[in-house]
């Protein structure tokens, strides 16, 4: 064969190769997040946010009106039984007391004089030196003075009480949780000035949705923990469920008796409250794992080799913004895709998070 023919054949061979089928592209492998699901026969209700509050608290007020002269305590102060927590300007009450004391002294003197006159009249009548009418007059005068003396004593007691009403004192050892009046303010009788509480008896108080409150097991044990401090935990039992329903939030107030709460559970501390109850067997998934397509509720199941996914129809018994409860369609140990469900296709090749491609 001539050199020219060999050269032409060499040019044709590459061209012939270019006319064949192009090489197939490798399938797209999508990384996915997934979880292995396990059946459970309990569900957790909550958590709900609540706070530590005292079971016993007492609002204290003056029993008379006046201008606040002193209020030596502030919120957070600890007080002891009998400690003075506030006082009014008592100048008017002191004047009334002094006047009542003077009236009593006058009435006492009058009674003493008329009692002595009655005794003298009795002696004169007994000796025949005076008529019976004189004794009757002396007795009547003594009785009138005795009544006036009783009235003066009552007025003095009332004046002493009024003076006592110008100060308020703690009825028990406690802590100040609120104040309602400042020094110089004129307050009415009965207006709350200081509220104190017993810190030794504390409760967890939170709002429970109406539907949950209706079906609440009053014997349930609640888990109570300080928000942001997971190691500070205790348990609580239901002491009271308010029969009143909040019109705007449709919740009811629940008060829990705490079992030996740690010191960290101080009044006003924010806590997280939850409890568990028995249910039919179910699976709990993040709400991002649920796919609604073709009128069905679906999830993506990763195959046993962890290389591809397939769709499976499931039954969802209930859901929130964060989670969904699957009551049928899953088996214990299934691996379910929980993120990116809208970008997958049947038989899609996947790579599990943290796995080698």
Assess contact for 194 and 179: CB atoms under 8 A.
yes
191: Cβ contacts below 8 Å, ≥ 6 apart? 61, 62, 180, 181
- Please state which CATH number belongs to domain 91-164: 1.10.287
Instruction: Tell me the H-state helices in the chain.
Output: 3-18, 91-127, 132-164, 210-214
Give the CATH class of 46-55+199-279: mainly beta
> What are the C-alpha distances in Å from 336 to residues 44, 104, 318?
21, 92, 18
Structure pTM?
0.62
Domain 60-89+166-198, second-level architecture:
Beta Barrel (2.40)
Task: List the chain domain ranges.
Answer: 29-40+281-352, 46-55+199-279, 60-89+166-198, 91-164
Answer yes or no: are the C-beta atoms of 163 and 93 closer than 8 Å: yes
Render pLDDT for 19-32 as a digit per residue (tens, 0 to 9): 555 555 666 788 88
Tell me the pLDDT tens digit for each residue of 319-340.
888 888 899 999 999 999 998 8
Q: Is 174 exposed, middle or buried (0-12, 13-18, 19+ CB in 10 A)?
A: buried
Give the pLDDT confidence of 179-235 residue by residue, as tens digits: 999 999 999 999 999 999 998 889 999 999 998 888 888 888 999 999 877 678 899
Q: Which fold has domain 29-40+281-352?
A: 2.40.420
């Amino acid at each position: 064969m001539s050199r020219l023919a060999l050269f032409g054949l060499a040019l044709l061979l590459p061209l012939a190769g270019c006319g064949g089928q192009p090489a197939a592209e490798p399938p797209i492998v999508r990384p996915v997040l997934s979880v292995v699901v396990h059946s459970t026969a309990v569900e957790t209700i909550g958590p709900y946010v609540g706070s530590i509050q005292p079971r016993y608290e007492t609002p204290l007020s003056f029993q008379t009106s006046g201008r606040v002269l002193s209020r030596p305590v502030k919120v957070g102060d600890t007080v002891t039984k009998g400690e003075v927590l506030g006082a009014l300007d008592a100048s008017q009450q002191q004047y009334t007391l002094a006047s009542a004391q003077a009236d009593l002294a006058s009435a006492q003197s009058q009674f003493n004089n008329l009692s002595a006159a009655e005794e003298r009249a009795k002696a004169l009548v007994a000796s025949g030196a005076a008529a019976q009418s004189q004794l009757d007059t002396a007795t009547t005068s003594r009785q009138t003075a005795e009544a006036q003396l009783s009235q003066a004593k009552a007025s003095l007691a009332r004046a002493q009480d009024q003076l006592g009403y110008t100060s308020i004192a703690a009825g028990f050892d406690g802590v100040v949780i609120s104040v309602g009046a400042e020094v110089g303010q004129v307050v009415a009788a009965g207006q709350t000035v200081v509220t104190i509480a017993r810190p030794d008896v504390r409760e967890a108080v939170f709002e429970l949705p109406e539907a949950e409150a209706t079906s609440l097991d009053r014997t349930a044990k609640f888990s109570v923990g300080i928000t942001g401090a997971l190691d500070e935990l205790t348990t609580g039992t239901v002491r009271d469920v308010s029969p009143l329903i909040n019109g705007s939030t449709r919740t009811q107030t629940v008060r829990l008796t705490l079992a030996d709460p740690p010191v960290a559970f101080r009044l006003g501390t924010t806590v997280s409250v939850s409890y568990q109850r028995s249910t039919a067997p179910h699976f709990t998934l993040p709400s991002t794992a649920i796919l609604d397509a073709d009128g069905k509720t679906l999830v993506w199941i990763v195959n046993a080799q962890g290389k591809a996914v397939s769709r499976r129809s499931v039954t969802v018994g209930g859901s929130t913004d964060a989670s969904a409860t699957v009551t049928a369609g899953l088996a214990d140990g299934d691996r379910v895709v929980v993120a990116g469900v809208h970008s997958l296709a049947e038989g899609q090749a996947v790579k599990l998070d943290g796995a080698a491609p």
